[in-house]
Structure 1
Amino acid sequence: MNILQYESKIWATADLLRGCGIKESEWPSFMMPFFALAMIESRLVRMFDDLKAEIGVNAFTKIHKEDLYDLIKDKGQGYNIFIFEKTQTLTDICKNDKSFEIDFDTYLKGFDGETKDLLGVDASEGEKFLDIKGVITKLKAKKVLFSYTKLWAEIDLKPFNNSEITTLEEHIKRKWADISAETAGEQYTPDDVIALIAEIIASKIEESDTLLKIYDCTCGGGNMLFGVEDRINQKFKRLTQTYGQDWNDALYALAKIESRFRPDSKIEHGNTLVEDKFDNEEFDVVIANPPYGVSWKGYEKDITNDKTERFKYLPSISDGQLLFMQHLISKLDADGMGVVVHNGSTLFSGDAGSAESNIRKWMLDSDIVEAVIQLPTDEFFNTGIYTYLWVINKNKQPHHENKVMLINASEKFKPLQKSKGSKKNEVDEVSRLEIVATLSAYQENDYARVFDREFFYFNKQAIMLTNVDEQGRTFETHLPLKEDKFGEMKRVSSIELTPNKIAQGELELTEFSITKYDATQYASLESYCADAIKPKVAQLDYKEQPLLITTADANFFYDPEKETLIKEAGGITEELGCGKIIVSANYKKATKKLSERIEICVELTADYQKDYEIVSYHKDVAVNQTAIEAFMARYISKPFEYLENVVGVELNFNKIFYQPEKLRDVSVILGELANIDGQLKLLEQEILL
């Protein structure tokens, strides 16, 4: 029997929901608890039958009830008194519509306490995990509870093992994600990507007597966590143990239920970034597909004040992906490795000096990034974007050390015969094995490159340019020298003028110490300054139109054609060099000698401009500085001073694997044009006729 025969049957239950007016977006919340019910019942019945076979039928009938329940509890998979004592299942309950509601209520209350909590059997306020109580209330109101439950009772999962049930669960949860995901950040990991992740992990581990601990910090319903474990178990005899955490109530409940039927699996509920439920654990393998582009503003205070030291830098509050990445790295043991799914923003978002860039630099400095693999587009169910697998490894082979491999697997896929939402492609088995072989070989080919880690670093060199006029002159030479507090002679920043008049177009100012204002319009002299004077002064842009500053002995203005300040005095015109005219208005509080006032000031200063240049990085400090200086000598012609230099990191697949569009042969284009010309002439003849 193929368990996937039940996929269509399970989704047929949605027809009843549609028929009674329940919105499609709400279907998962109605289907999840009943699917969980079918899973739990099938496994409890199978566990009960296995227990009978283990003990022997004759011996089993003689076991005292309390001893039997002790044996069942020792299994750690939960229990149901109704099933074990009455030997009745959901199918039996649905045979009698008269007693159904009473029996169904008894059936639900017969579960152990943890199962009832996960199902939400006794939920009193709001949604509680799977909230079956709330769902039942709504179905009763629609008068379809019996019909709906009966459909689910026809789904018999008892003949199937854990791995097979997980496979069905993955298919069902994929459709739930397709229907209910509100943003592209909520990603259900498709089975082919899970298989690729498992293959990568399998290529990095070996048979051993030691336990292999696998951890997913955003495990959702457990599809990736348990899918990877199943595939590892198919390849190795090594014992595995899974750990997962998620804060979505319903998905946590599904993962928790699944975990109880796996040997030594631990699933916890809560926000990993705020409360790590495995804070004292380290893992051999970490995996995750954290949400993309999802804000962490709601718990900003907790993360900012986090005392675990796992967050080296805090990325943009609008996207928490790199918080999860830092958390996962902190959970690796000394030889641990992992595979993490991200979108493109983790590769290049944020400028040099930003938290995102610093996180990437920290990761590469730590030599923990072994490879990044670009997956095809249209791989996920509700987005067509490129996604990337970050392969992190604390136990790199010697020839992998201080290097990073980029694998462009964007063309390694097989188109699906029928699209599944946005998913049109899958990384088929042949492609998966080829990608893993390329990673293992760690040698370049036509779709993979290996780089020294510093290749991805760059200098963002800040400089202060001094703009000059057409003659190469700057007003800076007119600024007087003054001794600073360290005894060094430095030029002052500006020369202050004492104006008699400021004129620009129709606007003219002749008062430069203002003490009076209209009290009927303004609350104070300070508000008059802020609301009336400053906006007027802000309009005085010396480059927009001629601005004339008149002092007692000279006129000053800016000549835009020559890009220089001009001084006219006694009929003599002097070009002062490139500079700025700065007019400002400032409110001054009253002092012992002076009353409160608004002062309008005019300053002449050199035209300085802060700029940034992106320069290739060299790990040798002296070579790096020489490269920066050579770049400046080649490309910067104006006088400048060096300011701070910040090293940034980005991994740009487009730049490395860019393929220019192949131009068509000119003869082909000319042939097409001749053909079009011929068609136009025929049309012209038809019109004339």
Structure 2
Amino acid sequence: MKLFETKQMNILQYESKIWATADLLRGCGIKESEWPSFMMPFFALAMIESRLVRMFDDLKKEIGEDAFAKIHKDDLYDLIKDKGQGYNIFIFEKSQSLTDICKNDKSFEIDFDAYLKGFDGETRDLLGVDASEGEKFLDIKGVITKLKAKKVLFSYTKLWAEIDLKPFNNSEITTLEEHIKRKWADISAETAGEQYTPDDVIALIAEIIASKIEESDTLLKIYDCTCGGGNMLFGVEDRINQKFKRLTQTYGQDWNDALYALAKIESRFRPDSKIEHGNTLVEDKFYNEEFDVVIANPPYGVSWKGYQKDIENDKTDRFKYLPSISDGQLLFMQHLISKLDSVGMGVVVHNGSTLFSGDAGSAESNIRKWMLDSDIVEAIIQLPTDEFFNTGIYTYLWVLNKAKKAHQQDKVILIDASKKFAPLKKSKGSKRKEVDEVNRLDIVATLNAFQDSDYSRVFEKEFFYFNKQAIMLTNIDEQGLTFEEQLPLVKDKSGEMKRVSSIKLPPIKIAQCDIVLTEFSITKYDTLQYGDLSNYYMSAIKPLVSQFDYKEHPLVITTQDSKYYYDADQETLIKESGSTKEALGCGKIIITASYKKATKKLAERIEVIVSLTADYQKDYELIPFHKDPATNQSAIEAFMARYVSKPFVFLENVVGVELNFNKVFYKPEILRSVNEISAEISVLDKALKKLEAELAL
């Protein structure tokens, strides 16, 4: 480990030198947010050349200098091609590097163009050497055009040529790449919603995975569906390889052109690594593969509206439910679960919304329920705030496991690792903390102990379930009466006696404050008689009726023999006949109006209907869940009996799932005693009096 850390420190000395190339970009007026697009292709050049030279030197040693010198050019090409790491005419046939190209400023542009075109076809595509339309990946051609216009192409290329990475191996170069890409992510405006995974989180993920796997002669397949530039995918692989002799193979996919190109270039210098370009959610390039380990840090809060139809028409059966279109995190989660083999495990980084967004019955809640029902969630680990480079929010590791041990089955452990960090001596953007090695090992030990501790709790999975019980309340007045009791009973088609839904009144006048509807037809009680009925209905009656509110303002319905109105103080309908007032119970006054064209039997008219109905109100109660159906129903009924006093009927019950860290780990602030506060006030009071006395002197 010490040797690895020393080598890591050696290569990180180049970080400042690489970043110094941006000084030239700043000097010629290139915006900071554009620096990554100028630096990426040249950093890729430095990585490719160093690795090709290293591979070439190793090949010479393997074959022997004398034998190597006798190899025909075509045979040499085949030998190098078999390595699958790329080819360059200048490096392999002319023994020239980018440094040599930069020695002559007079012929530089011609030589540099020939050097770039001397790469194999795939490398040229990834660098964007011949890019015109469509995918440009690193678009070095476009960058060169801009640098030429600024008249700094030669000086900029020369700076990169001075960065010699040849002494370092693949893993060490990957470490440097991770640090450089982190800085790019920190300044790039294109990374909104995408969080670059810092080294310490990658190390924690690797430790978790390492604790779940064993030495074996079988291949360990690791997959990242949003691999970006490959920092997490390759970082986890390197750390696994430090701990195990087991062979590993990495698979990744990303749709960001430049980051994909960086990951693809990196993959060529790793044993049988496979990186594909494209949107994982729309086109899974590894549709026929399953994996031992899945990892990902998918974008947070990013809309999938742009490819909504593709997701809705997906035929792979990987998406059980479709979450809110504004955030695709749980789409990636479902995809990753579908990629696990029968005993696979995974670690996925999410923000807090995946824990609690969406009400019971929503897609988000249903996805969480499906995951817990499937018993695939082993743990959720809350990381400290200020852990990621461009956000200060809490983030969470979901630990998935399809081979949970017997004592873990149907259970989930929550680990509050929000305090398990060491402060950085110097902030890196928004990152002010890191989960250092001591804390990483402690977290992993807590995960595998799978028991309650100061910062962990184990729960039956049903602990996170809850009933959202819908009920239809019948509101009552101050006397406990409801208008429902006034509704007549009639036989329905089956012969069962049921109450009608309302009683219709024959009004001769409807009034609310100074708003009055009058002149009802004597022969048709609910019809208003006016001149131009169609225009009058649209301009006056329709907007007027929509304003009527029987609770906010007194609304009086006058019939031939009575008046009806709602008494807000008693919350009841009143029927007033002469000097007699009768409370009818809590109910509603509903007024509707509609325009009717003339028919053969009826004239053109405006029909106004007044109905008295019971005051029904749909409501929901959130009630703890029990996995036994009979116990669950009894608990619901006991809850209703205790907390709901109005008449009601049960409607649908929906089971939701929410994982609430605050609820589990909340520690109330311990308030000081009254005596302690009084004593402190007394001391302050004496001090004030002393000051007043001194001022009076």
Q: 2:122, 2:603 → 1: CA distance?
A: 77
The aligned runs of 1:9-48 (5 Å cut-off) are 9-48=17-56
Cα distance change of structure 1 residues 202 and 589 upon mapping to structure 2, 3 Å threshold? farther
Match for residue 482 of structure 2 among 467, 474, 489: 474
Deviations 1:102-127 (A, max 9, x none): 11000000011110000000111376
Q: 2:248, 2:54 → 1: CA distance?
A: 23
Q: 1:64, 1:506 → 2: CA distance?
A: 105
The aligned runs of 1:191-202 (5 Å cut-off) are 191-202=199-210
> Does residue 53 in structure 1 map to residue 61 in structure 2?
yes
* Comparing 127-136 and 657-666, the one that deviates more: 657-666
Match for residue 504 of structure 2 among 482, 496, 511: 496
Match for residue 274 of structure 1 among 282, 290, 312: 282
Q: Which amino acid aligns with 2:670?
A: K
Helix, strand or coil: the match of 1:82? helix
Residue equivalent to 1:150: 158
Q: 1:316, 1:165 → 2: CA distance?
A: 40
Cα distance change of structure 1 residues 408 and 612 upon mapping to structure 2, 3 Å threshold? same
Report if aligned partners of 2:468, 2:656 keep a CA contact under 8 Å in 1: yes
Cα distance change of structure 1 residues 187 and 528 upon mapping to structure 2, 3 Å threshold? farther
1:590 shift after superposition: 4.2
Report if aligned partners of 2:185, 2:191 keep a CA contact under 8 Å in 1: no
Q: 1:130, 1:280 → 2: CA distance?
A: 29
1:560 shift after superposition: 1.1
Residue equivalent to 1:513: 527
> Does residue 405 in structure 1 map to residue 413 in structure 2?
yes
> Does residue 238 in structure 1 map to residue 235 in structure 2?
no
Structure 1 runs not aligned, ≥5 long = 519-523
Q: 2:95, 2:539 → 1: CA distance?
A: 83
Residue equivalent to 2:427: 419
* Comparing 280-289 and 558-567, the one that deviates more: 558-567
Residue equivalent to 1:558: 566
Q: Which amino acid aligns with 2:361?
A: G
Q: 1:366, 1:619 → 2: CA distance?
A: 15
Q: 2:373, 2:183 → 1: CA distance?
A: 41
Helix, strand or coil: the match of 1:4? helix
Q: 1:290, 1:528 → 2: CA distance?
A: 58
> Does residue 442 in structure 1 map to residue 456 in structure 2?
no
Match for residue 372 of structure 1 among 352, 375, 380: 380
> Does residue 75 in structure 1 map to residue 101 in structure 2?
no
Cα distance change of structure 1 residues 592 and 51 upon mapping to structure 2, 3 Å threshold? farther
The aligned runs of 1:82-481 (5 Å cut-off) are 82-125=90-133, 128-182=136-190, 185-481=193-489
* Comparing 607-616 and 536-545, the one that deviates more: 536-545
- TM-score, length-scaled by structure 1: 0.97
Helix, strand or coil: the match of 2:53? helix
Helix, strand or coil: the match of 1:204? coil
Cα distance change of structure 1 residues 307 and 169 upon mapping to structure 2, 3 Å threshold? same
The aligned runs of 1:612-651 (5 Å cut-off) are 612-651=620-659
Q: 1:252, 1:182 → 2: CA distance?
A: 15
Deviations 1:589-631 (A, max 9, x none): 4443224433221110001111100111011111000000000
Q: 2:18, 2:529 → 1: CA distance?
A: 82
Q: Which amino acid aligns with 1:43?
A: R
Residue equivalent to 1:534: 542
Report if aligned partners of 2:467, 2:655 keep a CA contact under 8 Å in 1: yes
Q: 2:156, 2:65 → 1: CA distance?
A: 35
Helix, strand or coil: the match of 1:50? helix
Residue equivalent to 1:601: 609
1:489 shift after superposition: 1.7
Q: 1:500, 1:334 → 2: CA distance?
A: 75
Residue equivalent to 1:521: none
Deviations 1:467-514 (A, max 9, x none): 111111000011112222333221111111111000111111014535
> Does residue 661 in structure 1 map to residue 666 in structure 2?
no
Report if aligned partners of 2:420, 2:439 keep a CA contact under 8 Å in 1: yes
Deviations 1:411-442 (A, max 9, x none): 10000011101100000001010110111111
Aligned length: 683
- TM-score, length-scaled by structure 2: 0.96
Report if aligned partners of 2:223, 2:250 keep a CA contact under 8 Å in 1: yes
Cα distance change of structure 1 residues 229 and 94 upon mapping to structure 2, 3 Å threshold? same
Q: 2:575, 2:202 → 1: CA distance?
A: 74
Q: 2:167, 2:239 → 1: CA distance?
A: 21
Q: Which amino acid aligns with 2:96?
A: Q
Q: 1:229, 1:483 → 2: CA distance?
A: 74
* Comparing 551-560 and 584-593, the one that deviates more: 584-593
1:304 shift after superposition: 0.5
Q: 1:687, 1:596 → 2: CA distance?
A: 92
Q: 2:531, 2:369 → 1: CA distance?
A: 57
Cα distance change of structure 1 residues 583 and 366 upon mapping to structure 2, 3 Å threshold? same
Q: 1:591, 1:280 → 2: CA distance?
A: 67
Q: 1:486, 1:251 → 2: CA distance?
A: 68
Q: Which amino acid aligns with 2:442?
A: E
Identity of aligned residues (%): 83
Q: Which amino acid aligns with 2:297?
A: N
Report if aligned partners of 2:518, 2:528 keep a CA contact under 8 Å in 1: no
1:18 shift after superposition: 0.5
1:552 shift after superposition: 1.2
Helix, strand or coil: the match of 2:287? coil
Deviations 1:342-378 (A, max 9, x none): 0000000000000000000000000000110000111
| RMSD over equivalenced CA pairs, Å | 1.6
Q: 1:532, 1:242 → 2: CA distance?
A: 71
Q: Which amino acid aligns with 2:283?
A: E
Cα distance change of structure 1 residues 184 and 142 upon mapping to structure 2, 3 Å threshold? closer
1:658 shift after superposition: 0.3
Helix, strand or coil: the match of 1:499? coil
Cα distance change of structure 1 residues 26 and 548 upon mapping to structure 2, 3 Å threshold? same
Q: 2:539, 2:151 → 1: CA distance?
A: 67
Cα distance change of structure 1 residues 667 and 563 upon mapping to structure 2, 3 Å threshold? closer
Q: Which amino acid aligns with 2:642?
A: R
1:668 shift after superposition: 4.7
Helix, strand or coil: the match of 2:649? strand
1:84 shift after superposition: 1.1
Report if aligned partners of 1:515, 1:596 keep a CA contact under 8 Å in 2: no
1:677 shift after superposition: 3.5
Helix, strand or coil: the match of 1:353? coil
Report if aligned partners of 1:127, 1:134 keep a CA contact under 8 Å in 2: no
1:662 shift after superposition: 2.0
Residue equivalent to 1:548: 556
